[in-house]
Chain A
Amino acid sequence: ELKVEQNPLFLSMQEGKNYTIYCNYSTTSDRLYWYRQDPGKSLESLFVLLSNGAVKQEGRLMASLDTKARLSTLHITAAVHDLSATYFCAVDNQKLVFGQGTRLTINP
């Protein structure tokens, strides 16, 4: 059974700092997704990573995928308050299996 683990589960950081969220998964997959969820809202797709070594960037967020290590990272550069949300990774194993989520709080 595929297991997807994120860490940290909670992250409080100051504006302007950099940090990385990690997503580890237990079985082979070539497709991984990152989603953002604001409180009381649905999931918004951020990145789709389709191959080993894939790197995608949008604004202050950058995601990468290492399929050999079964690891994806979501890097936040010079965080701003608007990035406060819960971030989920999801691995495609004929169905999406989600991690527990990382609740990110960015303080002024």
Chain B
Amino acid sequence: EAGVAQSPRYKIIEKRQSVAFWCNPISGHATLYWYQQILGQGPKLLIQFQNNGVVDDSQLPKDRFSAERLKGVDSTLKIQPAKLEDSAVYLCASSLTGYEQYFGPGTRLTVT
């Protein structure tokens, strides 16, 4: 069974630029999550989708971050404009039951 796929794996941008990350969950998993993991910390949930609807985006900085999952499968997370403090690893996870989550390899973002 293929795992959660993410791209790109690494991205370096300058502050005030925009960036987008892509996630393809495990086939059949209705729930998709985006997490931000700052160096030395645990992951923090940014947004949770159930199919193509948003379940929880309470910790998403909506003035600069946006996410969509238009067809209930793939998802994109966008940051515009980026700030230095957005440097982190962005993890995508998916779940079939809502209990156990499977994480992708992550995208490491560096904002200079």
Q: Are A43 and B45 in contact (CB under 8 A)?
A: no
Q: Does B72 contact A (CB under 8 A)?
A: no
Q: Are A43 and B103 in contact (CB under 8 A)?
A: yes
- Separation in Å of the B67 CB from the closest CB of chain A? 15
Q: Which one, B42, B56, B103, contacts A42 given CB within 8 A?
A: B103
Q: Which one, B42, B43, B99, contacts A31 given CB within 8 A?
A: B99
Q: How many residues belonging to B are interface residues under a CB distance threshold of 8 Å?
A: 17
* Most chain B C-beta atoms within 10 Å of own C-beta, residue among A33, A94, A96, A101: A96
Contact with B along A90-103 (1 / 0, CB 8 A): 10101111111100
**What's the count of A-B pairs with C-beta under 8 Å?**
40
Q: Considering the chains assembled together, what is the distance between the CA atoms of A73 and B40 in angstroms? A: 21
Write 22 A-B pairs (CB below 8 A) sorted by A numbering. Answer: A4-B42, A42-B103, A42-B104, A42-B106, A43-B91, A43-B103, A44-B103, A45-B100, A45-B101, A45-B102, A48-B99, A48-B100, A88-B43, A90-B42, A92-B99, A95-B45, A95-B48, A95-B56, A96-B45, A96-B101, A97-B45, A99-B42
- Interface on B for A, CB 8 Å cutoff? 40-45, 48, 56, 91, 99-106
Extra contacts, 18 of them, besides A33-B100, A98-B42 (Cβ < 8 A), are: A4-B42, A42-B104, A42-B106, A43-B103, A44-B103, A48-B99, A48-B100, A90-B42, A92-B99, A95-B45, A95-B48, A96-B43, A96-B45, A98-B43, A98-B44, A100-B41, A100-B42, A101-B42
